[in-house]
Structure 1
Amino acid sequence: MSEKKMNSSRRHHLKSLILSIGAGWLEQEKKDLVAAKAAYMSENCPTPSMSGDQAALMEACKKLHALLDKVDEERYDLESKVGKADKEIQDLKIKVVDLAGVKKPALKRVRLSADAMLKALLGSKHTVNMDLRANLKQVKKEVKEETVDAGDWRKNVEDKADRKKMFETT
């Protein structure tokens, strides 16, 4: 069963329909929020009565200030708890990273001579020669002249046979 592609006018119509439904939901949410706020205010904050003398009004103001102080203390306590929790979360994140360790990338083999490495590290200004063999002294070997008699080979074999017998007897 082949699926037909939606043409652009149909797609546009569906998008506008979805947007209009979403806009309606947002409006309804705003109305519900205003109604909930009004219900909360009427339940928790009755309208103050302004009738009476100045002493009664002063007493009402003192009560309101006491309530404000209480709310401010609660807000401060909650902010400090949240700050402590955030700090603890950060510490735990750091510990997790420390425990996991840093993953080392796979190293590639690079064929560089020692001179090329020093040039890369020290820059092109420093030309250090790492040819260590150039700094060594040259020592001339003395050639020993071996006196080899090109005599009778049988005599050599007999001498060796005597040595062999000497080792066998011990």
Structure 2
Amino acid sequence: MAIRERLAELGISLPSVAAPAGSYVPAARTGSLVYTAGQVPVVDGKVVATGKVGADVTPEDAAGLARICALNALAAIDALVGLESVVRVVKVVGFVASAPGFTGQPGVINGASDVLAEIFGENGKHARSAVGVAELPLGVPVEVELIVEVA
């Protein structure tokens, strides 16, 4: 099934590419790999949540934010090379702004991992890191970056 058909079947629309908040590009290709910049939960140009997971943001809400981040990363990939060229998702790196004692980072980043598996099936399964951090840009609770292989 073509990727556009799969997105439509899932009721997923890719957002516009988020404007960089610094001196970088949203995605860069080298050889058969595309690396995205860290993507934060921005919808229509606005940050949708701030705070620490485990204090200000529930893990469940943070997982939904990680999903938004993953879709923002896919939009950056689509703008650079087209989603149709994605062969597989290689790696996801997720950062979670964590309250002291919060250790549920893997569950939060499942929000990104799960949507990638929904979209790409077996080719959406990937290696991953889920890291707790003290702060993230703009005060957001989660940030996600992708590495994908392209044809």
Per the normalisation by structure 1, the TM-score is 0.15
Of Structure 1 and Structure 2, which has the larger fraction of its residues in strand? 2
Bigger radius of gyration: 1
Higher relative CO (Cα under 8 Å, sequence separation at least 6) belongs to 2
Per the normalisation by structure 2, the TM-score is 0.17
